[in-house]
Structure 1
Amino acid sequence: MGDSTRKSPPHMAEEKLDMEQLQIKDSTEESPILEKPSTLFPKITGKTGDLVSDYNYKLRQETGIDTSMTTAVIKLIGTVKLHGAHADIVIHTDNTMQLQSRNMASLSREKDLYRIASTMLPLKTEALDMKQRYRERFLTLNPGAEINEKCPTIIAGEWIGPGIQKGVAISQLPRKSFVILSVSINNAWLPDEPYADIHNEAVGIYNISRGGFYHEELVFSDIEGSREKLDAHTLAVETECPFAKSFGISGVGEGIVWKAEHPLGRDARFWLKTKGLQHTVTTTEKLKNKPSGTELENAKNFAEAAVTVNRLEQGWAYLEEMGIKRDMKGIGAFMKWVIHDVEVEEKREIEEMAINQALLKKNMTAMCKAWYMKKLDLT
């Protein structure tokens, strides 16, 4: 496993604002648990500004501290981001088990593009054993805590291996495997490092810890400098994937998922994904430094930065996963997915740059249609 720790930047102690000093409340401890909390894996932001904004909002709501303060420091723990197909093992109170993907709440042998269900459903005994190991470890690490049985245990992971994705080292693995990325108990995500040894490699269930851990800080008074440090790790992963290397396979990786140190990291709003240049789906943040043009020019430039080939390919893959035929009848679903993905992930940039949304949608629609038509000609 790669040693991925880098020394954090120095700061004056009296200026450093951390979660312990602020005594920020953990919403998962005091908020009432929903009867049926969502089991869908959260969408992780790739925007540093989104994480900062969410932190400032939480800070203002729970402590009343002026959000103009810039001395906050969030410790981040990173793991290798794997380019495969997302899959979750959801185990309910009665030990019934369901498998879900990013877009489908229930995978079955009959409806499963990547054949996750046909491999994982027979491993129910092993999955229940992992559930028990996670729960026992949780109770050991949190004396006095109780497990809310209304909340399922979610073992979130990535389905990787041959035939799932192209152009990454893990596609060279000899067989498809499930890699544990995050685990939820009591509707809150657990920290990764204290559970790093929980896996069952004999049956093809690995832990993301096999690729090592990264440690950095997000310093609010130096966001650009912090981002440079995160990106340096990310580019190193893209050059040589540590997870694949642990199997003796050399090649390209995708990036890193950073989670805030607990208790903040229980909430996925305080996670951040950083991707290498080959896998990035947006370059809109770079537009902030460019001079403003007309509304039409700004909308066109934003569309070109947001509707990248990688994002379009994700929309193309979405159709396949959902069983939507990729012909002219599927173009509406394709455009809807891409445009919605941009509107969600780029919401902050759209607002900050005052992009005309009607013009933006018009430009995105034209780009999606042109790409889709060309893709059909090539397939």
Structure 2
Amino acid sequence: MPCMEPEHVQVANTIPSTTSQPTVAPATDAERTLYPKITNHVDEIVKILQHLERDPKNPEQEVVLDPIPIVGTVKLHGTHADIVIYSDDSIFCQSRNITSLSATRDNQGFANAMSKKRKVLLCLRDLYLARWIQLNPNATISTSHPIVIAGEWIGEKIQKDVAIAQLSRRFVIISLNINGQWQNDTSFSGISLTNHDIYNIARAGLFNATLYPQDLQRTLAEIEPLAEKVAAACPFASTFGIQGPGEGLVWKLAPSQYNSNPTLWFKTKGGKFKPTFAARPPKKIKSFDTVEEQRKEAARVAELWCSEQRLEQGWDVMREKGVERSLRGLAEFLKWVQLDVLVEERGYIKRYKVDEGDLKISVARIAKGWYLERVQSGIE
């Protein structure tokens, strides 16, 4: 068995430690390895599916999609963290926004903790590769793509008001990328190294439901109660005997031709994490009658979309990036919130003709007030 029980060792020239500087990962690889953003909007998933299934020879023909089974895993409220391992055994740690974490530019101590686990991480890599080869006996592992073990770094003082904050810090694997392709989670759900505080999200169980592309209300009626149950009592924390709130679920389409496509992943949150969706106007909008109406609609949806959760996330991203959370960081904070709104809510913005310029102004006004109050209060 290639993976023996490894001892903790300091790492030179790969994972950062307090005594060595990490190698800088190639920019092109770094861009490819960053974890994809996952939408809250199920209707966007249906639109992507319709596009994928459309006959290029007959693009005007209506695409009718059959119900599709989906598999959910518990969404953990920690901070995103990845382990990236190259074919030469060099290892890099990254967050959602930073491609090369180090002891001096860390994210909640993740890189520092992993710097003591080089042999453990290579063992974990070997377990994943052995399983992949078993599943793909006629395929070859590409040396040009790193193995990306994506997860959530959770535990005490990383987040608050969730059950997992009562746990000691640990890494929970949520996705795996081999040969530049995201793998089917259920095929690798049994792999973890719990003796080294490395767990698999499947520990909390898998949730099964159905995406009904022709009846989204039926889909939501099926998946939203599941997300609320998770938000009320986190299944992952409960496996350690800890009771308390969770966040929600991440869904992936079960069929193999869709499962590895991250543009088809979506999430449903419950409890305090549930996003506020803008109600569509009573009639389809071709254009606003006046500039004032246009600005009022932008201000209305900005109030809904600048939720406490979104603003808190922007505040945390600044910490992750090492941006000073003071008056000097205001512009960076506003830029992040504006972009997050434009990306996350792009479907609604386009469909109902929300003016992006007016929206950015309204978002900035709300976010600025929140940020200045946060800075003046001294809350970290």
Relative to the length of structure 1, the TM-score reads 0.87
Instruction: Supply the AA of the counterpart residue of 1:97.
Output: I
Preserved contact between residue 82 and residue 95 of structure 2 (Cα < 8 Å): yes
Ranges of 4+ aligned residues in structure 1 off by more than 3 Å: 61-67, 287-293
The answer to whether 1:183 aligns with 2:182 is no
Task: Name the amino acid aligned to 1:255.
Answer: G
Does the alignment pair 1:223 with 2:222?
A: no
Given that 1:89 and 1:99 are in contact with CA atoms closer than 8 Å, whether structure 2 keeps it comes out as yes
Distance 2:56 2:133 in 1: 27
Return the match for 2:162 from 168, 177, 183: 168
* Distance (whole Å) between structure 2 residues aligned to residue 223 and residue 108 of structure 1: 44
| Closer/same/farther in 2, CA of residues 349 and 39 from structure 1, 3 Å limit | same
Distance in 1, matches of 2:369 and 2:283, equals: 26
Q: CA RMSD in A?
A: 1.9
Following the alignment from structure 2 to structure 1, what is the Cα–Cα distance between the partners of residues 128 and 60?
Answer: 38
Which sections of structure 2, spanning at least 5 residues, go unmatched?
A: 1-27
1:305 and 1:287 map into 2 onto residues whose CA distance is: 12
SS in 2 for 1:71: coil
Does 1:359 pair with 2:358? yes
Q: TM-score, normalised by structure 2?
A: 0.86
Total equivalences in the alignment: 344
Deviation at 1:279, TM superposition (A): 1.1
Q: Which amino acid aligns with 1:197?
A: G
* 2:34 matched residue in structure 1: 40
Counterpart mapping for 1:1-379 below 5 A: 36=29, 38-60=32-54, 68-173=62-167, 175-261=168-254, 262-284=256-278, 286-288=279-281, 294-379=293-378
**Compared CA separation, residues 61 and 45, structure 1 to 2 (3 A):** farther
Name the residue aligned to 1:11: none
Relative to structure 1, the CA distance from residue 127 to residue 70 in structure 2 (aligned partners, 3 Å threshold; closer, same or farther) is same
Aligned to 1:28: none
Partner Cα distance (2:275, 2:217) in 1? 20
SS in 2 for 1:278: helix
> Which fold has the larger relative contact order, with Cα–Cα distance below 8 Å and residues 6 or more apart in sequence?
1
CA distance in 1, matches of 2:210, 2:111: 38
Q: Is the CA contact 2:294–2:355 (under 8 Å) kept in the aligned structure 1?
A: yes
Q: Deviations over 1:268-320 (max 9, x none)?
A: 01111111131134423x34558978212211111011111110111111111
Instruction: Judge conservation of contact 2:128–2:188 (CA < 8 Å) in 1.
Output: yes
Is the alpha carbon distance of 1:97 and 1:214 closer, same or farther for their aligned partners in structure 2, counting shifts above 3 Å? same
Q: Distance in 2 between matches of 1:168 and 1:67?
A: 47
Q: Distance in 1 between matches of 2:149 and 2:114?
A: 12
- In 2, Cα distance between equivalents of 1:163 and 1:192: 28
SS of alignment partner, residue 377 of structure 1: helix
Structure-2 separation of matches of 1:63 and 1:133: 44
CA contact (8 A) 1:315 1:338 kept: yes
